[in-house]
């Protein structure tokens, strides 16, 4: 069958792509590079204080017995990434990663990824690199009135850098709503593309595709071709930051209770309020239903099921406009189908640049989170690191776990390392020797960090009765003191007359 004229351009394209692929592979093999990137697709999901970046990399081994793949990051973006996870596409379990040391003036950092198996020559694998960036957006303009809309600005690098050559790559930047204000059109890209450099479709700005990119972690490439690109967009949600989050958890075996208290300082990190706040304008917006979406009016928190004695107050006092729906308790080990919901209506609208400080606390049955191993005599308690505040980054987080008096052989299993970890002593009413307190410090936590800490410890039978014995001793001490005092004659005797 003769070829039609419409088929010829397709054949030419396939032939050209094959030539490029062969030349890149040959060049990579000659330079001793272990991999080549067949394709890279980076997707940036824009938000407020938190930005999700997902990079899919199709890798091909150019040498035998390869089990370490190195991922490169610009220094600025790696410093802003508080969460990093690498896995094989369509698989849930993350791969082991190792941070590589870097020099102080380096413009990029690298992470070694341990592949699930050694790759032979020409073997392929698709990797998914997920990062969560914090504080990478900023309001632009920096000030806005009560009726103005909120615009944010996000800046990243044009190319996904790699120590391996890349056949083709593209970057997609997505906003929540299709209201992109502006975006950068890059220059000096003729070496890697002959088509459209950037295109916008709805809420997505796409850069690329760029083809035949050489090793891009060297100084020449970074100086000649790498360039920043900026996207400005409207964001119709409050930009929330938790400047301070302090959680105190106290475990009581005698009362079979675990008490949790959170002290939170919440900030609206959107554009600062321009001028003075007008209560009249605010009430008018509420009446018309035209209030701007970037002002926070209420906050919903998912709390554990089966909680009791819930309290919520701010710096002024109790906030009676809050509503609580408590979900039924769940036995330890069972999946949580429904959580308790606390809807807090703030005492005042949280405008850009404003703070709101509040405290939330509750009690829960210790049996729902604690287990006992009779063979080892160990207790194992599951404790959440934090309660997620939707869309917010936690700048500074302190966690204090107070164990019962006399707890020994304390072990801690954490889902990720903390900045600091130390053992302190907490002394409360009627304590005799004080309670062990485990202290953690974190920074830049996101909803992806809302995981659990497991604490194991031993508690002897005598220590179980330490508190009742202390209370009884105090009670009987007071009783004995009262008994003795009542037997003492404190009256002043009358002076007898001399005879």
Q: pLDDT of 43-99, one tens digit each? A: 999 999 999 999 999 999 999 999 999 999 999 999 999 999 999 999 999 999 999
Phi first, then psi: what are they for 306, rounded to 5°?
70, 20
Query: Count of CB atoms within 10 A of residue 86's CB?
Result: 22
The CATH number of the structural domain formed by 240-466 is 2.60.40.1730
Which residues neighbour 112 within 8 Å (Cβ) at sequence distance 6 or greater?
A: 68, 69, 70, 97, 98, 100
- Residue 63, exposed/middle/buried by CB under 10 A (0-12, 13-18, 19+)? middle
The Cα 278–Cα 168 span in angstroms is: 53
Tell me if 200 sits within 8 A of 153, measured CB to CB: no
CB 30 within 8 A of CB 87: no
Decide if domain 34-234 falls under CATH 3.30.160: no
Q: How far is CA 312 from the centre of its chain?
A: 24
User: 233 or 196: whose pLDDT is higher?
Assistant: 233
Yes or no: say if 133 and 100 are a contact pair by the CB < 8 Å rule.
no
Average pLDDT of every residue of the chain:
88
On the question of pLDDT at 340 being above 50, the answer is yes
Sequence-distant (≥ 6) Cβ neighbours of residue 152 within 8 angstroms: 46, 48, 137, 138, 139, 140, 232, 233, 234, 235, 239
Strands in 378-384's sheet, in edge-to-edge order, are: 370-373, 378-384, 452-458, 408-413
Query: Where does the pLDDT of residue 240 fall: very low under 50, low under 70, confident under 90, or very high at 90 and above?
Result: very high
* Dihedral in degrees, nearest 10, Cα atoms 42, 46, 49, 54: -20
Residue 369 is inside which H or E element, if any? none
Per 3-state DSSP, what percentage of the chain is helix, strand, and coil (rounded to 5)?
15, 45, 40
Give yes or no for residue 226 having a pLDDT over 80.
Answer: yes
Residues 451-458, mean pLDDT to the nearest whole number: 95
């Amino acid at each position: 069958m003769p070829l039609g004229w419409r088929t010829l351009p397709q054949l030419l394209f396939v032939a050209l792509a094959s030539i490029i692929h062969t030349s890149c592979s040959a060049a990579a093999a000659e330079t001793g590079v272990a991999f080549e990137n067949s394709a890279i697709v980076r997707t940036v999901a824009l938000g407020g204080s938190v930005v999700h970046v997902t990079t899919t990399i199709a890798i091909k081994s150019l040498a035998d017995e390869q089990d370490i793949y190195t991922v490169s990051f610009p220094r600025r973006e790696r410093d802003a990434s508080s969460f990093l996870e690498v896995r094989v596409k369509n698989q849930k379990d993350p791969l082991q990663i190792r941070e590589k040391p870097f020099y102080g003036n380096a413009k990029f950092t690298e992470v070694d990824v341990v592949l699930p198996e050694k790759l032979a020559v020409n073997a392929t694998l698709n990797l998914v690199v997920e990062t969560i960036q914090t504080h990478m957006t900023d309001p632009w303009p920096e000030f806005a009135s009560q009726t103005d809309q909120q615009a944010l600005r996000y800046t990243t690098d044009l190319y996904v850098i790699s120590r391996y050559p890349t056949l083709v790559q593209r970057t997609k930047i997505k906003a929540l709503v299709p209201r992109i204000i502006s975006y950068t059109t890059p220059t000096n890209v003729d070496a890697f593309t002959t088509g459209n450099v950037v295109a916008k479709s709805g809420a997505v700005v796409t850069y690329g595709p760029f083809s035949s990119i050489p090793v891009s972690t060297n100084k020449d490439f970074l100086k000649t071709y790498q360039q920043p690109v900026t996207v400005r967009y409207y964001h119709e949600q409050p930009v929330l930051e938790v400047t301070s989050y302090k959680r105190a958890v106290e475990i009581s075996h005698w009362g079979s209770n675990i008490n949790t208290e959170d002290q939170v300082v919440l900030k609206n990190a959107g554009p600062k309020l321009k001028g003075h706040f007008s209560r009249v304008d605010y009430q008018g917006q509420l009446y018309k239903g035209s209030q701007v979406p970037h002002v926070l009016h209420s906050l919903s928190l998912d709390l554990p099921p089966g909680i009791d004695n819930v309290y919520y107050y701010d710096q002024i006092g109790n906030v009676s406009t809050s509503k609580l729906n408590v979900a039924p308790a769940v036995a330890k080990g069972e999946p949580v189908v429904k959580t308790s919901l606390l809807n807090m209506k703030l005492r005042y609208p949280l405008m850009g640049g404003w703070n709101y400080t509040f405290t939330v606390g509750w009690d829960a049955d210790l049996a729902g989170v604690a287990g006992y191993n009779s063979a080892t005599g160990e207790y194992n308690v599951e404790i959440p690191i934090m309660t997620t505040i939707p869309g917010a980054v936690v700048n500074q987080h302190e966690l204090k776990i107070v164990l019962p008096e006399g707890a020994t052989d304390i072990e801690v299993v954490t889902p990720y390392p903390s900045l600091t970890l130390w053992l302190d002593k907490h002394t409360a009413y009627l304590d005799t020797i004080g309670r062990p307190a485990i202290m953690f410090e974190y920074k830049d936590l996101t909803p992806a960090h809302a995981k659990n800490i497991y604490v194991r410890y031993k508690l002897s039978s005598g220590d179980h009765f330490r508190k009742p014995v202390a209370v009884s001793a105090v009670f009987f001490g007071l009783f004995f003191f009262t008994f003795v005092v009542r037997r003492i004659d404190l009256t002043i005797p009358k002076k007898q007359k001399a005879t």
